[in-house]
Amino acid sequence: MKIGFIGLGIMGGSMAYNTLRAGSDLTVHDIRREAATGHLEEGASWADTPRQVAEVSDIVFTSLPGPTEVEAVALGEDGILQGMSPGKVYIDLSTNAPAVIRRIHGLFAANGSHVLDAPVSGGPAGAKSGSLALWVGGDEKVYQRCKPALDAIGDKAFYVGPSGSGAVAKLVHNCAGYAAQCIVTEAFTMGVKAGVEPLALWQAVRRGFYGRRGLFDAGLVEHLLPGKFDPPDFALKLARKDVDLALSLGRELDVPMRMSHLALQELIEAVNRGWGDRDSRVAMLLQEERAGVEVRVPQDILDKALESD
């Protein structure tokens, strides 16, 4: 199968490698040609424009920062649309606005080509290993036809519904996660300030109903407790964008989202501190400052606790 891949950043680069290693005839493009060096060494071909990628591919993937970049690559001069012909498929792996992907879907459909929105979840480690969730929106028959290509990227591809449904699912996931992050940090700093040792508190609460489901793991164990926010697993500026997109969708649907607005304000305040390129969980430091307490566990002690738990 001839696959095109545009956007070879932290996530896209690894996903493109996995499509190549699955045996695809891969053509790549990025605004930085040097990002494709490894892919070209492993047998991929280079295209100078998104249009050229589409012209030589059966399926074109994009992994881009957000709606603005997706629109430019899909619809701009020498964009993907200009290289599409009937039957070809464009799959956007980015976290996108539902309205944007639906508009793109309509424009591509007019020339007989297809669009799937398939945002991913699993972080850089998941992108490397192929352990990613993909939430897919669009025509189900097209999804089934493209399933082998999606399975080369992630192990949990799931058809959600019509165009835009995958984008909605991703926004629900990320918005809920970052809203929960604010609440968890709030409660955890309260507990530490009340006199409970951080490691003991974490070990205690994770045995409860919500703790067993990972709510107290990702942000706390990987970032806040050890105080590690660089290099980013997922940049703060992208988290801010994702929550903002979810709130825009809520406004379109007249859905009150009080806690999510508070979460967005946390992320904006952290961005204004100059932390936009740090890990998104760096926003948790704001609550530490307000609470007047530092929540830290040395990494070696934390590792031993994880091994014995």
Alpha helices (runs of H) in 95-164, residue ranges in sequence order: 98-109, 123-129, 140-151
Whether 147 is catalytic: no
Residue 129's identity, in one-letter code, is S
Q: What DSSP element (H or E) covers 83?
A: helix 80-83
Report which of 52, 32, 2, 5 is spatially closest to residue 153, judged by C-alpha positions.
Answer: 5
Pick the catalytic residue: 170, 193, 241, 304?
A: 170
Q: Are strands 120-121 and 133-137 parallel, antiparallel or unpaired?
A: antiparallel
CB neighbour burial string for 109-140, b if at least 16 within 10 angstroms, e if fewer: eeeebbbbbbbbbbbbebbbebebbbbbbbbe
CA geometry: angle at 113 spanning 112 and 114, to 5°? 125
Are the C-beta atoms of 138 and 162 separated by less than 8 Å? yes
Phi and psi (nearest 5°) for 27? Answer: -120, 135
- Secondary structure, 3-state, 222-253: HHHCCCCCCCCCCEHHHHHHHHHHHHHHHHHC
**Nearest-angstrom CA–CA distance, 155 and 124:** 14
Beta carbons within 8 Å of 235's beta carbon, 6+ residues apart: 276, 277, 278, 279, 280
The catalytic site residues sit at 170
